[in-house]
Amino acid sequence: MKAVVVGAGIGGLCTAAGLSSSGADVTLLERASEVRGGGSGLSLFGNGLRALESLGLRSVVPDAREVSPTLNGTRRPDGRWLTRFDPAAIADLRVVRRSDLHEALLGRLGSGVEVRTGTGVREVHDRTVRLDDDTTIDGCDLIVGADGLRSRVRPAVTLDPGAAYAGYVAWRAITARPVDLDAAGETMGRGQRFGIAPLPDGHVYWFAAVNYDKGADTGGFDEVRQRFSSWHAPIGEVLDATDPADVGVLPIEQLARPLAAFVRGRCVLVGDAAHAMTPNLGQGANQAMEDAATLTALLRGAGQDVDDALRTYDRLRRRRTQRIARQASAVGRVGQWQSAPAVRLRDLAMRAAPDAVLNGQLRRIQDWQPPVR
């Protein structure tokens, strides 16, 4: 099989590695001049780890201590707990540096993968990929769009709804030094949230989400400190341990509408190209890994019936990912409520909800196994 994978993010690397391990000749196209991971921290849940195991890539995530030494859940800015997670519900959770994971996945690509950097895709038609330099790659048995929210492959599969702004921005960073934590999780205020999670080396991955009008200029790290330093410990200490140069800020976006299809002919979408979602459940990368594992497993067992395998992929992955995307969007909207009455109602409802219900929801999201054909 001659396969072209467009985009060398986490989803693209997993897909390229999986297809190559199944005997495909894979060309991996990356628009940037080099393949490298950006961002800061990343949460990998049980479903993502099982996807990596299915792909033969589980070793790229070393075993590590639990994400929180004692408590994990949701708090108010004064530190009062609203919800607490059962440690068993997040026993498989691993928090890693995105750049480390990206580098490890890149190192696991087999000799059957040709990586071409500085290679942008202009359009895809039938089994042909046209590049920005007007050259083409013809006769593709499979074209995989793993090129993110603004995918160039997506229009070849279905009507492209474009991106939609979720109404808030997020700053993210990893502390420059270790910080002792006795708890982790997310704190919800009025129109703003702050989350913390320790890495295996004791450094802390954090994010801050704040409502902003679309297109408005966002403040820098000083604004984060001004907004959140007075919140409960150890948020102030986490910010003090952060190098301002390491802080990134981005608007939170998602697909404007769910896609009608992930597959058309021999073109297939994975990751954000298929189901870009808000990060509120920490499932974006995990779902991209599931996509790669599902596609690889179905094609491995397909024999000559590749088209049937792709139809099964479309059915399985659209239903699950679009449900999780809706849940993530809803969690973000509620978490970013700004009016005082709405926030009081939210906090009362969260305190009243049995922790078992919330833990059950978290377990259901992680309840996934690769398909068997």
Question: For residue 62, what are its two tokens?
Answer: 């070393």
Residue 10: inside a domain: yes
Instruction: For residue 58, tell me if it sits in a domain.
Output: yes
- pLDDT for res 167: 98
Q: What are phi and psi of 342, to 5 degrees?
A: -65, -40
3-class DSSP state for residue 47? Answer: helix
Q: Measured between alpha carbons, how far is 159 from 282 in angstroms, rounded to an integer? A: 27
SS3 196: strand
Q: Does any domain span residue 276?
A: yes
* Residues present in the chain in total: 373
Nearest to 298 by CA among 136, 32, 55, 41: 55
Q: Which helix (H) or strand (E) holds 195?
A: strand 192-198
Reference 296, options 105, 14, 107; nearest CA is: 14
CA distances 29 to 34, 153, 253, Å, are 11, 12, 24
pLDDT digits (tens, 9 = 90+) for 20-54: 999 999 999 999 999 988 889 999 999 999 999 99
Confidence (pLDDT) at 372: 82
Question: What is the CATH classification number for the domain harbouring 279?
Answer: 3.50.50.60
> Residue 107, class by beta-carbon neighbours within 10 Å (0-12 exposed, 13-18 middle, 19+ buried)?
exposed
Q: What is the pLDDT of residues 53-109, one digit of tens each?
A: 999 999 999 875 544 456 899 999 999 999 999 999 998 999 999 999 999 999 999
Q: Cα separation of 8 and 24, whole Å?
A: 17
Where residue 36 falls (left for φ over 0; alpha for ψ -120 to 50; beta otherwise) is beta
Give Cα separations from 304 to 16, 25, 299 (angstroms): 20, 16, 9
CA-wise closest residue to 157 among 314, 323, 1? 314
Asked if 196 and 184 touch (Cβ cutoff 8 Å), the reply is yes
Contact assessment for residue 276 and residue 165, using Cβ atoms and an 8 Å cutoff: no
Residues of the chain with pLDDT under 50: 66-68
The crossing angle, in degrees rounded to 10, of helices 355-366 and 46-54 is 10
CA distance 200 to 64: 6
Q: How far apart are CA 27 and CA 29, in angstroms?
A: 6
The reported pLDDT for the residue numbered 67 is 47
- Domain membership of residue 170 (yes or no) is no
The structure tokens listed for 29 are 């196209």
In a domain, 227, yes or no: no
**DSSP classification of residue 201:** T
d(CA 13, CA 21): 12
Domain-located, residue 372: no
Secondary structure (3-state) at 74: strand
| Residue 152 domain flag | yes
Q: Which domain covers residue 291, as residue numbers? A: 2-164+254-366
**Distance separating alpha carbons of residues 146 and 296, to the nearest angstrom:** 14
Domain count, the chain: 1
In a domain, 229, yes or no: no
Pairing label, strands 81-84, 142-145? unpaired
